[in-house]
Structure 1
Amino acid sequence: MTAERRREPLSPSVIDLDERSREIFRRIVETYLDTGEPLGSRTLSRLLPMTLSPASVRNVMADLEALGLVFSPHTSAGRLPTQRGLRFFVDAMLEIGDLATEERDRIEAQIRTGGGGRTYEGLLTEASQMLSGLSRGAGMVITSTADLRLKHIEFVRLDQARALAVLVGSDGSVENRLVTLPPGLPSSALVEASNYMNAHIRGRTLSEAKSELERVSLAEQAELDEITRRLVETGLAVWSEAGDERPGTLIIHGRANLLGDLKAEEDIERIRLLFDDLEQKRDLIHLLGLAESGDGVRIFIGSENKLFSLSGSSLVVSPYRDTENHIVGVLGVIGPTRLNYARIVPVVDYTAKLIGRIVG
């Protein structure tokens, strides 16, 4: 499994922490991820596998604070990890295992059996719900229609003047558009137009298919009569316009999970900002871009993710691909910075691969 972790450069003094400092830092982070609470020196001295007095622990904590890895939320309190500290922990100390066979089977059974009659949208909705249920965050799935790879198109006649253009994407999605037929169009022309388009559009995006059909039309004018050629142009125009209008689809489940650990007014404002971003569906294609810039799971903590930087949320995200290895969507978990990364990363990774297999 690949888990890419964006990082800021760490100083040699951080990288070269001795065993005692690393153990103390690890305990602070793990306590924060588990409870959200600061860890004090007296409690820490009892937890450590080595013998250290509270005073010695406080000295190490002061050194960690000087390195920017921890901070004290208020006087006489214990320490919490900073964003920089969480980044260091995720990059250098987080142990990410693989899922057990039984857990993989449970995830697959839930998605396949609960997937809305196995429709494409139903599968994605079930994946979003499952990710929410297995995390402290919100499960998220994003698909892009602008980058949709085409698999098949068919014209189905409704009456003398209208037909339904049925488009199947390589991700398994199916969409319909109403097309006005040229006067006097024989039924054979619908089949001819479908066959002609399918010969040139498979595996291409809408914009690529449009360019390809424009390129070959001059060289292959004899293949299509005038009426059929008009149908081809009309059908492609309908789909191109639809793709421009729909930059992406967002499915979110588990927003209520993000309200569970609010302790202060600033936490409420953080979540309000996050909800606003999600409701407005801002910069969805940016999230697709995050996934496209690397294989496997990517982890963004706080302000590292500019999309939700104001809300200070973390994002664990992975692309899913079609059978030709094209990225057709992104899924993952949004939540507070104290997500259970060790648990969530393998779940997101496996779910992305599973969805890719099902829709491919």
Structure 2
Amino acid sequence: MTDGQSETIPPRTVRVALGERSYDILVGPDLLAGAGTAIAKRLPGIRVAVVTDENVAATQLPSLISALEAAGIDATAVTVPAGERSKRFDRLQAVCDAVIAARLERGDAVVALGGGVVGDLAGFAAAIVRRGMRFVQVPTSLLAQVDSSVGGKTGINAEAGKNLVGAFHQPDLVLADTTVLDTLPEREFRAGYAEVAKYGLIDRPDFFAWLEANWQAIFAGGPERIEAIATSCAAKADVVAADERESGRRALLNLGHTFGHALEAATGYDGARLVHGEAVAIGMTLAHRFSAKMNLASPDDADRMEHHLRTVGLPTRLGDIPGTLPPADVLMDAIAQDKKVRRGALTFILTHGIGQAFVADDVAADPVRRFLEENHPS
């Protein structure tokens, strides 16, 4: 996944329109080298704490620190272990303590350098330290660039489920450097691609068709990668601007996530077995299959979307998850803990076909349980 054309490709700017809290997402190659200038332009006189994980610290942190210092920005680095298990209370406390120990003030910023875990954790710390600090996202994974870094959702996991503790806290800037994606393991890039495909499956059927034709070029790098990321960010920005706190249309962004979050909880957030994007890929397939089973959509659309996800190398079925899964009743318990449940009623994002997702309230539990039993690998 190398990008030999990056020097000739200008960055794209996607605006998230939220009134006084509006911000830009910059998408393009080699943005890390100019991060200090970009941050200083929007947040003059700022001091920062850069939160990252051990893996990213070894590869990208020196470049970011150099860029910040070149722009006259004083920076403190805070490093956490890599992986989903850093999204927990003790790590949140450690990050908050480090930010406070650096004597950063309310007008200073927390910078998230990493994937979705780092962004969620650092963003939550920024939301609660001194009752709210400035926040900058520098996502280094495809999944984070197209999803978790945009929209202001921050949080950590609880014993009962994923992202159950958190806050909405919008960033001041997002820098999506497409060049850093060249260092990602193939599996992680594929997992992020599931979230790219999601935008086509929600309400952009033409984008999904474009992905079917161009996915190999996206993986290889170059202008197609930038186009895919910028289009995904624009799709999310439109939804966030219309429904910032997920009271209506923003729920569509959870396509595949109710099933997916249950699977992540069922596997103990073990990244060796299942990472978030893989869970979303399986969840989106289950959502399309369940929609077809309920006569809401044609099974041909479920076949088509599953074929594309499998073609790029993503898992699409419960049996694709290594190891033993708990029974359907346990998966249903995890679904019942999901944030999309309202007053005990199950809410799913279902579909009438590719690009025709909708919010389904009051989904009965018994058909979902039977569907999971039918699709369970045991």
TM-score range with shorter-chain normalisation?
Answer: under 0.3
Greater RCO (CA < 8 Å, at least 6 residues apart): 1
- TM-score normalised to structure 1 length: 0.22
TM-score for the superposition, normalised by structure 2: 0.21
Larger radius of gyration: 1
